[in-house]
Amino acid sequence: MNCVDDPCPAAGHIEPSNDMYTDPDYGSGHQHPIATTELWTADYSAACGNHHQRIMMKFDLVDFAGMEVDSAFLNIYRWFRCPNHYYTVANFYNITQDWSEDSWNELVHINHEASSWKTYTFGPDNDWYRIDIKSAIENWLDGTVTNYGLVVQATYGEKWSKFYSKEGPMGLRPYLEMYFPGGPDNCCLDWGTPGDADKSGTVNLTDILNTISYVYVNPLGEPQAADGCNALYDANGDGSSAENPNINLTDILNMISHVYVEPLGDPVLCCPPGCLIP
């Protein structure tokens, strides 16, 4: 994959652009204003307090529009379940109108498609849940369905499941995990950050010095990048293939800027083309 003509954005951990839950009722156990750190879903009767909460969630996928996805998973952490009802069966629906968590009325359920595209059972543990949502992602990316996000709606009679939102504790926030054709070993996903030539987990001075040595001292020999994949030095990913990386001063300058000037912003280190690790 050529990262200049056909970019391959990192897709391993995308947090929602918007998420919240709606609750049309008041009374015992209801929370208004709703907690921004929490996402609730339940649907049970007046005898138990009229709990009809629904989760709304949306991901910004504009960078992936038109791409073919191999698999996609929603990862969401449940921190509470009803003490005497360990499971929550819920349906997933496509939302049919635009919204923002900053302006949506928390007392009003959003409109969604009549038919769900997934039924999933949470429980019994309070823990991470990894849910296959490939069908929805495919429809959003190819434009079959407008990406207004999804609703998680408990089926009737189901008690609480409460999850953390994108404002929740670090390390427990929901995120989308996507893989593209080539499987989980696709270079854009599992093999490390482009520019991280020694695969230490971060781009740092050692990588910069190794790349300088590679370009100006011994470009056809040592230092070899990790796993023998020297395209790891190709920080801006403008080579034609893993076997023909284009490693030069621009990569070095991008790495210097990445480490010392804009470590969380530009220049974006691009996925090198190739080097699949078995």
Is 219 in the same domain as 175? no
Distance CA 127, CA 48 (A): 25
Judge whether 8 lies within some domain. no
Domain count of the fold of the chain: 2
Please give the span between the terminal C-alpha atoms of the chain, in angstroms, as a whole number: 17
Distance CA 176, CA 13 (A): 6
Residues 6+ apart with CB under 8 A from 9: 63, 64, 188, 271
The residues pairing with 72 across neighbouring beta strands, listed in sequence order, are 178
Residue 104's H or E segment, with its range, is none
Question: What tens digit of pLDDT does each residue of 25-54 get?
Answer: 998 889 999 999 999 999 998 666 789 999
Whole-structure pTM value: 0.65
Is 264 in the same domain as 135? no
Question: Region 159-179: what's the mean pLDDT?
Answer: 93
Q: Which of 183, 199, 228 is the last residue of a domain?
A: 183
Residue 271 structural domain: 191-278
Looking up residue 196, the CATH number of its domain turns out to be 1.10.1330.10
Is 176 in the same domain as 56? yes
Distance CA 153, CA 220 (A): 58
Question: What tens digit of pLDDT does each residue of 180-225 get?
Answer: 764 333 344 344 566 777 767 677 888 888 888 888 876 555 556 6
Question: Region 1-25: what's the mean pLDDT?
Answer: 70
Is 202 in the same domain as 176? no
Is 25 in the same domain as 146? yes
Is 132 in the same domain as 255? no
Is 55 in the same domain as 156? yes
Judge whether 5 lies within some domain. no
